Copies of this chain bind each other. A is one copy, B any other.
Amino acid sequence: MLRTHTCGELRIDHVGQKVTLCGWVQKNRDKGGLIFVDIRDRYGVTQLQADETNTDDQVVERLRQLGREFVVYATGNVIERASKNPQMPTGDVEVQVTDIEILNEAKVPPFLIEDDTDGGDELRMQYRYLDLRRNVVRQKLELRNQINREVRNFLDTQDFIEVETPVLIKSTPEGARDFVVPSRMNEGQFYALPQSPQTFKQLLMVSGFDRYYQIVKCFRDEDLRADRQPEFTQIDCEMSFVTREDILSTFEGLIRHLFKTVKGVDLPEVPVMEYDDAMRLYGSDKPDTRFGMEFVELNDVAQNKGFKVFDDAQLVVGICAKGIAEEYSRKKIDELTNFVKRPQIGAKGLVYVKYNKDGSFKSSVDKFYSQEDLKEWAVKMNVEPGDMLLVLSGNTNTVRKQLNELRLEMGNRLGLRDPQKFSALWVVDFPLLEQDEETGKWHAMHHPFTSPKAGQEALLENDSQLANIKANAYDMVINGVELGGGSIRIYQRPMQEKMLSLLGFTPEEAKAQFGFLMDAFEYGAPPHGGIAFGFDRICAVFGGVDSIRDFIAFPKNNSGRDVMINAPSAIDNEQLTELGLKLNLVEAEEKVTE
Residues of A within 8 A of B (CB): 1-3, 6, 22, 24, 40-43, 69-71, 73, 103-107, 109, 127-130, 132-133, 138, 141-142, 145, 148-149, 152, 156, 161-171, 173, 177, 179-193, 199-200, 203-204, 206-210, 217, 219, 221, 223, 230-231, 233, 240-243, 246, 491-492, 512, 516, 520-527, 552-554, 556, 559-562, 564-572, 575-577, 579-586
Contact = CB atoms under 8 A, between A and B. Distances in A.
A468 B208 CA distance: 55
Contacts of A142: 161
Contacts of A161: 141-142, 145
Please provide the 9 A-B residue pairs with the shortest distance between their CB atoms, ordered closest to farther: A106-B524, A132-B207, A170-B567, A189-B568, A69-B524, A582-B584, A183-B568, A22-B241, A129-B203
27 contacts: A22-B240, A71-B524, A104-B525, A105-B522, A106-B523, A107-B523, A129-B204, A133-B207, A138-B207, A138-B208, A145-B163, A164-B233, A166-B562, A167-B219, A168-B230, A168-B556, A170-B565, A170-B567, A170-B569, A181-B181, A183-B560, A186-B559, A187-B586, A512-B566, A580-B586, A581-B584, A582-B582
A163 B231 CA distance: 14
Nearest to A148: B162
A522 B106 contact: yes
A425 to B, nearest CB: 24
B189 A109 contact: no
Contacts of A568: 168, 170, 181, 183, 186, 189-191
A190 B581 CA distance: 12
A526 B103 contact: yes
Interface of A is mostly: loop
Contacts of A183: 560, 568
B169 A562 contact: yes
A193 B562 CA distance: 14
A185 B579 CA distance: 21
Nearest to A567: B170
Contacts of A133: 207-208
Contacts of A210: 6, 41-43
Contacts of A187: 585-586
Nearest to A209: B42
A569 B168 contact: no
Contact of A130 (B43, B129, B191, B207): B207
A523 to B, nearest CB: 5
Contacts of A1: 241-242, 246
A169 B569 CA distance: 9
Given A166-B562, A553-B200, A570 B190 contact: yes
A530 to B, nearest CB: 14
A494 to B, nearest CB: 11
Given A164-B233, A181-B180, A523-B129, A570 B189 contact: yes
